Amino acid sequence: MKFDEATWHAVRNYTKDGQGRVLGIVIHIMDGTLSGTQSWFDNSSAQASSHFGTGRIGGLLQWVDTKDRAWAQAAGNHDYLSIENEGRGGDELTPVQIESCAKVLAWASRTYGFKLQLAAKVGDEGLAYHALGGAAWGGHTSCPGARIVAQLNQILDLAKAINDIPLPLSTKPTPKPTPIYAPFPGAAFFKNGRKHPLIAAMHKRLVAEGCGKYKSSTGADTWGSGDKSSYAAWQRKVGYSGSAADGVPGKKSWDRLRVPKS
């Protein structure tokens, strides 16, 4: 089956009609980018795939139909669906990734009837993580990492809220304020030597995305050639290629970067 809230991007690697049953969802970390992982899943020599994938700054993809078996966790493939999350080992999931995982979990629980709970061992229903399966699931003991395992309860509680399942008062998540992002200031804003707090805010977002280094206080708020290079690196990271990764902010890329309003 296909999840309506995910963008469908079929990949080459999967077993047709191979999903034996669905006991729950297994959370993974990509150790790479969303676009790069999709390319890998389309490579027949990779022998790997996942049902779903999330992006650190947004984006929920479905690569494999849930009636088909993805190749994500070895012996666990027959019984669990899989979600790969953009990032590296040691990362936490971003709020938008937590939300995407919760949406998939809530939908899959409604569709296949498994319990919304944390899986304590292989064979349990609910939300699991790759390392839980040990050697039988490929021996990936660092996937998705301790920081993401600590976030599983957040995914679970949000999935319960989506499915309108009451939470105990002690476990109800505290609503977070909705972030306010800076609107695109126009292409003319980004000229060499432009000095503005918004440029400092942009620097911090690029650093958070692993692109570039935050400048010293003498140049943190000034646009220059280094900023153009960092912006181009971020564009390539999120899937821009060729002349599209030119280091020049445009409205679409700026909105996707989500620079907090200063």
- Give the pLDDT confidence of 16-48 residue by residue, as tens digits: 999 989 999 999 999 889 999 999 999 999 999
**What are the beta bridge partners of residue 126?**
24
Taking residues 122-133, report their average pLDDT: 97
Measured distance CA(29)–CA(8) in Å, rounded: 20
Amino acid 209: pLDDT: 86
**What is d(CA 36, CA 30) in angstroms, rounded to the nearest whole number?**
9
Q: Which residue has the higher pLDDT, 123 or 177?
A: 123
**Which residue's entry shows tokens 């890998």?**
40
Per-residue pLDDT, 89: 86
The pLDDT of residue 210: 85
pLDDT (mean) for 49-60 = 95
- Indicate the residue type of 9: H
Integer-rounded Cα radius of gyration of the chain: 20
pLDDT score of 171: 60
Least-confidence region, from 71-80, 220-229, 245-254: 220-229
